[in-house]
Amino acid sequence: MPYLSPALNVMIAAARKAARPLIRDFGELENLQVSRKGPADFVTAADQRTEKILVEELTKARSGYGFVLEEGGIVEGSDKTHRFIIDPIDGTTNFMHGVPHFSISIALEREGNIVSGLVFNPVNDEMFVAERGHGAFLNDKRLRVASRKNLPDIVVASGAPFMGKDGREEFLKEADAVLASTSGIRRFGSAALDLAWVAAGRFDAFWERKLRPWDIAAGLLLVREAGGIVTDLTGRDLMLESGDVLAANENLHKPLMDLIRSAGK
Ligand code: IPD
Ligand code: CA
Ligand code: CA
């Protein structure tokens, strides 16, 4: 059985509560796809409501903790040593298009370290959790990163910058190098789930640049607690600062970093 700290239990309960109306909204979207206004406003409302429920539930149980929220920004708490880092819907584009691959991501930071994390896909009820020093779990099953050693055998997840986002050219060079040397790339649209799936050994690795803390804070802990290595693209532990992430097992991390870095040049 997984060890779940009291704080992680509170986070799980909050995520489950927020997920109920979110699943109802996801069902409703089918009707909205065909409406003239389209689903964008509806999704914004779903995002904000999910975040509100999470903040209310977490505040009830841990009054004084601060927040880093995708929608609401930074909320200072009276307790300066703890804050929750939250993405209410990671994979908004999927949600909007009726693709059942999105997640609620909640991490708890204590004195600058992520100590608990969850990534929850409410559609298939997959609850990925990790507690620092106590492993990562999917529902009740212990997670372990994949053990493949050779680049030609691996599947790598990523995220591609689109429209006005910076870094498309760099990404295309990096993706070209990864495609040339591996069994391929998957771009599923939720960085939090990408990391959870690396922890679960479904993907062998994940890289993406310019992510935000709420996209990755919980997923980073999941990968580490499943025995994987996570750094930025220069090998440093500065993912939350730079937004650049490379996650893989210990055999693949260095070769992939070399491949991706040399491609960008
Ligand atoms: C996005 C997802 C996506 C990643 C983007 C993120 P959102 O978050 O994590 O996979 O490629 O960079 O912004 O907007 O769906 O919360
Ligand atoms: Ca996100
Ligand atoms: Ca989001």
- In this prediction, residue 29 has a pLDDT band, given cuts at 50, 70 and 90, of confident
pTM of the model: 0.96
Based on the domain organization, do 103 and 162 belong to the same domain?
A: no
Which residues make beta-bridge pairs with 108? 84, 116
- Give the pLDDT mean for 194-212: 98
* Ligand 1 pocket, CB under 6 A: 87, 90-92, 159, 189-191, 208, 211, 215
Based on the domain organization, do 15 and 65 belong to the same domain?
A: yes
Based on the domain organization, do 138 and 156 belong to the same domain?
A: no
- Atom number in ligand 1 closest to CA 212: 13
Based on the domain organization, do 156 and 138 belong to the same domain?
A: no
Model confidence over 91-139: pLDDT tens digits? 999 998 889 999 999 999 999 999 999 999 999 999 999 999 999 999 9
Mean pLDDT of the chain: 94
Q: List the CATH number of the domain containing 112.
A: 3.30.540.10
Report whether pLDDT(162) > 90: no
- Atom number in ligand 1 closest to CA 192: 9
Domain boundary among 86, 110, 142: 142
Instruction: Give the model's pLDDT for residue 40.
Output: 72
Q: List the CATH number of the domain containing 199.
A: 3.40.190.80
Report whether pLDDT(38) > 90: no
- In this prediction, residue 37 has a pLDDT band, given cuts at 50, 70 and 90, of low
Q: Which domain holds residue 235?
A: 151-263
Based on the domain organization, do 24 and 108 belong to the same domain?
A: yes
Domain boundary among 115, 142, 169: 142
- Give the pLDDT mean for 55-82: 97
Q: By percentage, how much of the chain surpasses pLDDT 90?
A: 88
Domain boundary among 142, 160, 194: 142
Based on the domain organization, do 124 and 165 belong to the same domain?
A: no
Whether 1 maps to a domain, the answer reads no
Based on the domain organization, do 13 and 113 belong to the same domain?
A: yes
Report whether pLDDT(43) > 70: yes
Number of domains in the chain: 2
| Euclidean distance between CA atoms 141 and 126, whole angstroms | 11
